[in-house]
A and B are shown apart, each in its own frame.
Chain A
């Protein structure tokens, strides 16, 4: 167990060192985060969406900032395994005595840590400059975060598996990104959409994630969101093992065809 944790730590250390070596990119990402947060904060501070106030009992500013901040989180989680499964080094990791699950968690760790900083920046700007008031229920927030990330990583594993076979173009990630933006309760609640489209979000785990995270950050406990949390948990129970199995099977298929290191 310690060995595996140590490996995950080494993944993070390696990723931080690589990431921070692109200094211009680091500056641009920081600026992008700050300007992105400011844009949505200005927009939210001056927009009116009565349905948001009714449903979430929060101002549009908070709704938008939380949606934007966590959408980067979910977006990263939906792509994290694909990014890690580079043919350049997949063989080298797979030939080492490193478990597949350690490889996946290790690869996901730094992008998620970094996005936590992005989330804090978004929320910090809202709190410091726009009077956003949050009342964080830490336990509920952590549970929602873990379940939301886990379900997205499950989809990411399916996408990475397909990518290992087809090499370019991952339809799962593409579909989930588009649907999360449109129906995931990120920038607007599904209630503002025409009736038939309102049904779609209920089939997306991301919808429940965004609903629950907003509640958790505004002081609601687990008991207030138990139904939505249960659906999110159920989606994790289904998607995570399915994703792992698909990824494992696609790796086995590439090992069989001899295409593991192909592009």
Chain B
């Protein structure tokens, strides 16, 4: 459905004066996309993750034909973005993270959608009905007669999403669709994206977000981009599995004497694989919170603490989260 082949995009970011025998200005450039090879299957909900400037929006803009790549190409719905951009545009709906200025501020929400419905070839006789449908989907039917300039940031976002849905395209590029939404609206949008658009209607969706829980909840597969490179592209659980050795136990114990805590600190300093956090507020009640990374260490800690009559207040096994995996991957790369 979507395939990128060695997709590379380089941006010139200015000139740097280079001092040499003959002083000259060298063009500085940054690789926003560096030979990106991806394949997204039909009906897949595909997440793009990455820190700011990783190349997520650039990739979406290239796939939407708004940017021309420097090397490589891509196929969207079977059409080459370079050779057949108009067919690509007929197949996609886009929501960009900074698209709220593209509406007409003096027109109400419905009139704005009427204009864009014509731009997206929604048949004239179906326009009114379709606009009503998308307004209801995004929860803006009550506010549709309000002029756009009165809309809150969240309402603007919803109207952008409504515009994306107007032509009911087979492929959707959603660049941070839930940004600026309140938690209830964000959950409702996520639910619609996954349950209706993706699962029921089979739409192929590429989705960027900084909310890693959101990505974990929604996406069939996730691609982590960093400095234009694909670091990993896999199912969320598989990405979390990259740091499975980082699973840990969190234990809270009480009735540990102050001297024992000091000795414990000493032990932890010597054992590199044990980390310990002491809740300072509760020091006088001798409550200790520990994070232990493996079973052997856990046994050692319990053996050590058993010299006092300690009591376990809480014990939990902590699985690695997507956020931890993400941070691990990015830090490893840096």
* Interface-centre pick from B32, B65, B68 (highest chain A CB count, 10 A): B68
The reply to whether B107 and A14 form a contact with Cβ atoms under 8 Å apart is yes
Bound: A194/B115 CA distance, A: 52
Tell me whether A97 and B102 are in contact in the complex, defined as CB-CB below 8 angstroms, given that A10-B114, A14-B107, A258-B67 are known contacts: no
Interface SS of chain A: helix
The reply to whether B11 and A258 form a contact with Cβ atoms under 8 Å apart is yes
Interface residues, chain A, CB within 8 Å of chain B? 3, 6-7, 9-11, 13-14, 17-18, 21-22, 88-89, 91-99, 252, 255-258, 260-261
The reply to whether B101 and A89 form a contact with Cβ atoms under 8 Å apart is yes
The reply to whether A91 and B66 form a contact with Cβ atoms under 8 Å apart is yes
Tell me whether A260 and B120 are in contact in the complex, defined as CB-CB below 8 angstroms, given that A88-B101, A95-B94 are known contacts: no
Which B residues are CB-close (under 8 A) to A89? 101-103
Q: Which of B12, B32, B65, B114 contacts A95 (CB 8 A)?
A: B65
Q: Is B291 an interface residue (CB 8 A)?
A: no
Q: How far is the CB of A15 from chain B (nearest CB, A)?
A: 9
The reply to whether A91 and B96 form a contact with Cβ atoms under 8 Å apart is yes
* Interface-centre pick from A13, A88, A94, A97 (highest chain B CB count, 10 A): A97
Cross-chain pair count, CB within 8 angstroms: 81
Contact with A along B75-108 (1 / 0, CB 8 A): 0000000000010011010101011011110110
The reply to whether A256 and B68 form a contact with Cβ atoms under 8 Å apart is yes
The reply to whether A6 and B118 form a contact with Cβ atoms under 8 Å apart is yes
The reply to whether B89 and A95 form a contact with Cβ atoms under 8 Å apart is yes
Which A residues are CB-close (under 8 A) to B86? 97, 99
The reply to whether B102 and A92 form a contact with Cβ atoms under 8 Å apart is yes
Considering only CB atoms and an 8 Å cut-off, how many residues of chain B contact the other chain? 36
Bound: A97/B106 CA distance, A: 24
Interface residues, chain B, CB within 8 Å of chain A? 9, 11-12, 32, 58, 61, 64-68, 70, 86, 89-90, 92, 94, 96, 98-99, 101-104, 106-107, 111, 114-116, 118-121, 124, 147
The reply to whether B104 and A3 form a contact with Cβ atoms under 8 Å apart is no
Tell me whether A3 and B121 are in contact in the complex, defined as CB-CB below 8 angstroms, given that A95-B89, A95-B94 are known contacts: yes
Q: Which of A10, A17, A88, A256 contacts B118 (CB 8 A)?
A: A10
Q: How far is the CB of A247 from chain B (nearest CB, A)?
A: 16
The reply to whether B96 and A258 form a contact with Cβ atoms under 8 Å apart is no
Q: Which of B11, B64, B68, B111 contacts A252 (CB 8 A)?
A: B68
Bound: A3/B120 CA distance, A: 10
Bound: A7/B12 CA distance, A: 36
The reply to whether A97 and B67 form a contact with Cβ atoms under 8 Å apart is no
Chain A residue nearest in CB terms to B87? A97
Q: How far is the CB of A12 from chain B (nearest CB, A)?
A: 11
Which B residues are CB-close (under 8 A) to A97? 86, 89-90, 119-121
| Beyond A14-B107, A94-B66, 11 additional pairs, beta carbon < 8 A | A88-B101, A88-B102, A95-B92, A98-B119, A99-B86, A252-B68, A256-B67, A257-B11, A258-B58, A260-B67, A261-B98
The reply to whether B111 and A17 form a contact with Cβ atoms under 8 Å apart is yes
